[in-house]
Structure 1
Amino acid sequence: MAISSYLDDPETRRALHQRTLSVVMASQVFSGAGLAAGVTVGALLAEQMLGAGALAGLSAAVYTGGSAIAALAVGRMSQRHGRRTGLAAGYAAGTLGGAGVVAAAALDSVVLLLISLLVYGAGTATNLQARYAGADLSPPHRRGRAISSVLVTTTVGAIIGPNLVAATGRAAESFGLPALAGPFALAAVAYAIAGVILFLLLRPDPLLISQAVRTGAMPTATAEAAPRSAGGLTAGAATMILTQLVMVAVMTMTPVHMRDHGHDLAATGLVISLHIAAMYLPSLVTGILVDRVGRTPVAVASGVTLLAAGVVAATAPDDSVPLLGLALSLLGLGWNLGLVAGTAMITDAVPAARRARVQGNVDLCIALAGAGGGLASSLVMSATSYATLSITGGLLALATIPFVVVAGPRRRRQPVPGAPEKIAA
């Protein structure tokens, strides 16, 4: 269909928006499995191959470092060629990285492991950037719900992935591979399917249509104007960076903490699946809150929830799977609140002509924060304890509040009922 059809017909744009959401949501089911499977055992595999507990967090540092590089690359590729090309390329890299981790485990090659984890991080970055595709054609007052719709479908794969750890481990052993290589084989397959879905079906491209609609509706100089809310950009970035740092730090060391206190892989997989479900499943409610209550109150709630997660994790008995599951669920919920609110702030603040590039830069900072959190987590836990790590992370999350209260956007005025919706930049 010609681009002029989308410029002239709001109903056609709305239909495209719904189709875009459906395609992206389908891909997220598979990418969620790829993301969760690797996250569950990454620290354990690194510790096993490196032979040092203090370096267990290196896996998270490396793959989140890779996700930082990929976030920048996917953002810039999407800006130039569209979401379809950028996201498909990111998942292709994640597939290659997952397969490389399997080969590294089979060959017992630490160098190949670290290189492969770096590349595997592209899948993580792409999984997160897919949420922006859901918002490209959404009107501002429904933007939170559009973002949430993409995130919530990740829950299906995110729950399945960790609970297949034991099964994929046994399958790997049947082929003469280490058990911990199995989840990464699942991740490689899942990322490949997600990439194929997007590459074949995400047509026409939502970002390119959004740019065309914006350019067609307004003079070019206005379309290329600076962000409408520098404060919203700062507040959104700060919210997502801090929540990512805290979430990765505590999540990375939880499997190691559980292993050290006698829990098996099945128990660890259950706790991590609860955590990742809490990262994504609340999204539909979170999106409604972001749209109706406002971006800033939800971002503040994120910091408070992460503090609660740190307190529960720090005080939970070492042998209590239910309390560790509760702590990791709160950790995931706090991350979710921050991600949806922060993403909406960023999308509100930046026009379509610059959106993917700015979003990629922000996700670069988010990934670097995650890499720092992953690396620091093992050092802090080795020097002190899991309890200290958890409570420190919770307190750090409170730094979100002054950022969003001072710089965050005020509640958006709701559109007049019956007024025509416009595609926002």
Structure 2
Amino acid sequence: MQNESTPADAVPGSAAVPVLRGRRESRPPRLQRRVIPVLVSGQILGGIGMGATLSLGSLLAAQLSGSTAWSGMAATMSTLGAALAAVPLARLAQARGRRVSLSTGAVIAGTGAVTAITSAAIGAFPLLLLGLMLLGAGSAVNLQARFAATDLSRPASRGRDLSIVVWSTTIGAVLGPNLFDPGEAVGAALGLPPLTGAFAFSVAAQLAAAAVYAGGLRPDPLLTAMASRAHDAAAPRPQGGLAVLRSNPRARYAVAAVALSHATMVALMSMTPVHLRAHGASLTVVGLTISLHIAGMYALSPLFGWMSDKVGRMPTILAGQGMLVVSLVLAGVAADSRGAVTASLIFLGLGWSASVVAGSALVAESAQPQDRPALQGVSDLGMNASGAVGGALAGPVLAAAGYSGLGLASLALVAVVIGWTALQPHRTPREMEQP
């Protein structure tokens, strides 16, 4: 019988397990400290590409199609592309790791920016839609990166780690819309068509992000996390994301809260540049408004991550829905005031941030570890599909009911999340650590 003072590695048949387990337990925290800066760098570069092109996409769509009713297709195709890329990129991550998945998505997004420039040069609206869809892969990378931050994180800091990566997008995303005018100057010097100069910046930013992910995520965080669990012979076989949703009510709620909050944000945000331009605003004013909105989306995400860890995921989601209500009411009652529209877009970003940070943390912990990549892929698919529908419907609603009508109609989505949250059993942050 083993004496209490006998080292564990002196017991026959048990020598390797304690030693290797100690190494596995000590390696992830050190690797996590390296992973976060790499993800932050990639998010800054990816954010430049996203912020520089998303709003101009709606203006370019209206120009090439000849109708503002088609302007919503810019956000629709971008979010559709992100939706279509979500599950394949998640499967690629599970098979080859985050490094390959994130860098591949960034290259696809850069290709989309080149396609968008080409579409403007030849006046081909369908080609623009294809380019915007490929650009959506950049949004899929943005979303997957936040989950990459949780691969090796501890449950008590999961919301914080995720929110740091979300926050890092602030730098690039706020800078991006302010590249409208410089982009036009660069585009003119390069002989590019109007409204496409910022897409050239996006090409460079996405390719740089791909290089950061490919070179920096070594060893790969997801493959490391999966390897650390491979010794557990009692672990059940992995399920698909849809199977997890069918059997797990908490996962269904988390995925729905993220998806509906995103749809609300896309619907109003994508139509704001068209609304402002129709009321005589310059590209500089449009860029500043979108910059403030994107700052709201990302700048305070660490605060919402802290709230999510300390107060709870669901209370933070409810706080986010409250801010969305403020945004939509402002848009509904004061659409003719540029100041009110700007305030509305700031609250829209803040509400999105609180809801998505807390909802994403809840997604990450709503399934067993071996099922998380699949559930995360399905969550990103649902998030972007909902955004695509919101963007597609926003154009016709804007044409039929105006910006005020769009804001008030979007309150229905918020009502669904608030009602669903009220039906959920209350859990403390510690209880939420267990799926």
- TM-score if structure 1 supplies the norm length? 0.93
Corresponding residue SS for 1:135: coil
Specify the alignment match of 1:248 in structure 2.
266
- Structure 1 residue 211: deviation in Å? 1.2
- Structure 1 residue 258: deviation in Å? 0.1
Is structure 2 residue 49 aligned with structure 1 residue 31? no
State which of 267, 281, 288 in structure 1 corresponds to 2:306: 288
1:356 to 1:408, Cα distance in 2 relative to 1, 3 A = farther
Q: Percent identity?
A: 36
Specify the alignment match of 2:28 in structure 1.
13
Partners of 1:117 and 1:213 in 2: CA distance: 39
Higher relative contact order (CA 8 A, sep 6+): 1
Partners of 1:343 and 1:301 in 2: CA distance: 15
Specify the alignment match of 2:380 in structure 1.
363
Specify the alignment match of 1:199 in structure 2.
214
Corresponding residue SS for 2:410: helix
Partners of 1:333 and 1:408 in 2: CA distance: 25
Q: Cα deviations across residues 158-212 of structure 1 (Å, max 9, x unaligned)? A: 1100011111012112223223111222112111111110011101111111112
Specify the alignment match of 2:233 in structure 1.
219
Partners of 2:417 and 2:290 in 1: CA distance: 24
Q: Is the 8 A contact 1:275 1:329 kept in 2?
A: yes
Partners of 1:179 and 1:239 in 2: CA distance: 38
State which of 118, 137, 140 in structure 2 corresponds to 1:125: 140
Partners of 2:425 and 2:169 in 1: CA distance: 28
Is structure 2 residue 248 aligned with structure 1 residue 230? yes
Q: Cα deviations across residues 114-167 of structure 1 (Å, max 9, x unaligned)? A: 211111111111111110010111111110000001011100001100011111
**CA RMSD of the aligned region, Å?**
2.1
| Equivalent residue letter for 2:378 | N
- Structure 1 residue 111: deviation in Å? 2.4
For 1:50-199, list aligned pairs within 5 A. Answer: 50-199=65-214
Specify the alignment match of 2:294 in structure 1.
276
State which of 288, 309, 313 in structure 1 corresponds to 2:331: 313
- Structure 1 residue 366: deviation in Å? 0.8
Is structure 2 residue 331 aligned with structure 1 residue 331? no
Q: Is the 8 A contact 1:235 1:345 kept in 2?
A: no
Partners of 2:134 and 2:154 in 1: CA distance: 35
Corresponding residue SS for 1:286: helix
| Equivalent residue letter for 2:91 | R
1:122 to 1:259, Cα distance in 2 relative to 1, 3 A = same
Q: Is the 8 A contact 2:266 2:391 kept in 1?
A: yes
1:414 to 1:397, Cα distance in 2 relative to 1, 3 A = closer
1:343 to 1:321, Cα distance in 2 relative to 1, 3 A = same
- Structure 1 residue 414: deviation in Å? 7.6
Partners of 1:82 and 1:317 in 2: CA distance: 46
Q: Cα deviations across residues 31-52 of structure 1 (Å, max 9, x unaligned)? A: 0111111112111000000001
Q: Is the 8 A contact 1:296 1:408 kept in 2?
A: no
Q: Is the 8 A contact 2:335 2:404 kept in 1?
A: no
State which of 338, 342, 345 in structure 1 corresponds to 2:362: 345
1:9 to 1:326, Cα distance in 2 relative to 1, 3 A = same
- Structure 1 residue 91: deviation in Å? 0.7
Specify the alignment match of 1:419 in structure 2.
none
Q: Is the 8 A contact 2:290 2:345 kept in 1?
A: yes
Specify the alignment match of 2:12 in structure 1.
none
Is structure 2 residue 395 aligned with structure 1 residue 378? yes
| Equivalent residue letter for 1:299 | I
Corresponding residue SS for 2:37: helix
- Between structure 1 and structure 2, the one with the greater Rg is 2
Q: Which runs of 5+ in 2 are unaligned?
A: 1-18
1:53 to 1:280, Cα distance in 2 relative to 1, 3 A = same
1:317 to 1:65, Cα distance in 2 relative to 1, 3 A = closer
Q: Which runs of 5+ in 1 are unaligned?
A: 416-422
Partners of 1:260 and 1:81 in 2: CA distance: 47
For 1:374-413, list aligned pairs within 5 A. Answer: 374-407=391-424, 410-413=427-430
